[in-house]
Structure 1
Amino acid sequence: MEGISHITFIVRDLERMATFLCQGLGAHEIYDSAGQNNSLSREKFFLLGGVWIAAMEGAPPAQRSYQHVAFSVSDTDLPRYQANLQALGVEIRPPRSRVEGEGQSLYFYDFDNHLFELHTGTLEQRLARYRSLAGR
């Protein structure tokens, strides 16, 4: 196993997803199959933080859940992303309760019920914090 190859989201409107990813999160569109579908349906590819994101036209999830994809961001960049997303009309979720020292998170839904998170902490920081709490 070498890691994650790509993440695919099924969306109603590829242009709206492109705006969400590019303007909201700073992704770069790198492919559009318009006119020559080579897969199940029209698709677009994006690079976001070095991750290949695929978006395909289709029927997105019917309901929302806590299943999500989280991207790592710095504390200083989090407010900028929040402003970008709010300008697009994206629904920002209230933060969940947190243990101090595990980082900050911004949770938000795209327009097709996919939940995203921007997180400022690392796995190592979270585990260290949880270990310190267990020792109390």
Structure 2
Amino acid sequence: MAPAGVTGVNHITLVVTDLSRSVLFYRDVLGCRVRAQWARGAYLEAGSLWLCLELGPTAASADDTHIAFSCARAEFPTLAARITSGARVWKDNRSEGDSVYFLDPDGHKLELHLGDLASRLAHYRDAPPNGFCEI
């Protein structure tokens, strides 16, 4: 029997430098629902995602670390257009499935992606990268 493990994402906390600006971005550009807000933070929902914005100092990372959001296939073009008009794109999509890679107001790297683990694995079965091994 395999040991107990994590079952998914519980929540994500992002440190932001301007709480009001970030709440507006996540609400108005990404369509998150604001559930609570206080002087130094806010809780938002996006589907099953619980997102915490916490006021404090921040620095954007120079690596590929990012958070990817999902949406309904029919909503992707509209949401992608809203994102690209309201946020800076940081990377061109080179992966399987439609994606938009963008920055929030504090430089957190985000992605809107159509697809799931099954579609990604199917893609790599057809065009395996060097050293790919499905377990």
The bucket for the TM-score relative to the shorter chain is: 0.7 to 0.9
Residue 53 (1) aligns with residue 51 (2): yes
Task: Select the structure with the greater relative contact order (CA < 8 A; seq sep ≥ 6).
Answer: 1
**Secondary structure at the counterpart of residue 22 of structure 1:** helix
Tell me the TM-score normalised to structure 2 length. Answer: 0.81
- Cα-Cα RMSD: 1.7
Sequence identity (%): 33
Give the distance between the partners of 2:121 and 2:8, measured in 1 at CA.
Answer: 21
State the partner residue of 2:38.
33
Compute the displacement of 1:64 (Å). 3.9
Match of 1:111 among 105, 111, 118: 105
- Identify unmatched segments of 5+ residues in structure 2: 1-5, 129-135
**Secondary structure at the counterpart of residue 76 of structure 1:** helix
Match of 2:77 among 73, 79, 82: 79
Residue 8 (1) aligns with residue 50 (2): no
**Secondary structure at the counterpart of residue 67 of structure 2:** strand
State the partner residue of 2:25.
20
Give the distance between the partners of 1:86 and 1:96, measured in 2 at CA.
Answer: 13
Q: Deviations over 1:45-84 (max 9, x none)?
A: 0001211100011111254431100011233322211222
Kept in 1, the 8 Å contact 2:104–2:110? The answer is yes
Count of aligned pairs: 123
Structure 1 128/86 Cα, relative in aligned 2: closer, same or farther at 3 Å? closer
- Identify unmatched segments of 5+ residues in structure 1: 35-41
